[in-house]
Amino acid sequence: MKAFVFPGQGAQFVGMGKDLYDNHEVAKSMFEQANEILGFRITDIMFNGTAEELKQTNVTQPAIFLHSVILAKTLGNDFNPEMVAGHSLGEFSALVAAGALTFEEGLKLVSKRAAAMQKACEQNPSTMAAILGLEDKVVEDICASIDEVVVAANYNCPGQLVISGSNAGVDKACEMLTAAGARRALKLPVGGAFHSPLMEPARVELEAAIKAAIISAPICAIYQNVDAMPYSSPEDIKANLITQLTAPVRWTQTVQNMIANGASSFTELGPGAVLCGLVKKVDKAMTCEAKQA
């Protein structure tokens, strides 16, 4: 079975999507439509901006979404998934590519999500850190022992877990996890504590927009971040999208479940090849092709 996966924030690079814009009329039309919907020329930042401009959450999230969704569109009949999944923001890309959301509605939701997350970051200065070389349970237990907001946020692959929380909580956790034998405890250059309780204001703000959105049954099951299980029901999909902002991304478990349910190959659509790297760390024998244009 063919599995298609869609990356989240962090995969962006200056120049992303330009080949698509230059070489596909449908891509050019969709990018121009996006500029109108967003009210600014995001293509100028994507193609010719600075890395600093591109890493602002309100730019990064729609940029990665656009690259992924438009790339899927240009593949035509070669986009023939039997299962899909997306990492965090990538879940929205997966839903549009799989026909559950329209392009316009998906982009508006992503833009609202990015703005709500940016606002939550400004309300609560906070951060994230990658922890390498420890068992998940060790990381979870140490985070739970700290009298600050700090939680396991992204289960990326075996031995790589990202924690998220207040600046003090993440600093304390990094210190304790290093003492417990972590190979690395590396603070990440992100705007705030994504997928933690500190995103509650963003979850509340986005809930109404997601509830009001028209979501159809996708062309195949989507494995969602909150519990790594496959869903096709629009109501379930909406509920999981709302929970996603404050819940961890269970990517390791998602890939494991997709493979257990018959995935024979993975294709990553979007900037970079981050997810292919994670798929290979979950299962060395699995093939994964990353497409950017």
Token couple for 272: 């970079």
88 in catalytic set: yes
| Nearest by Cα to 17 from 3, 1, 30, 8 | 30
266 with 276: CB under 8 angstroms?
yes
Q: Which of 88, 164, 166, 196 is catalytic?
A: 88
Number of H helices, E strands in the chain: 13, 10
Alpha carbons 293 and 82: distance in angstroms, whole number: 21
Provide DSSP, 148-176. Answer: SSEEEEEEEETTEEEEEEEHHHHHHHHHH
Q: Which of 67, 87, 164, 195 is catalytic?
A: 195
Alpha carbons 24 and 72: distance in angstroms, whole number: 12
265 in catalytic set: no
Q: Report the catalytic residues.
A: 88, 195
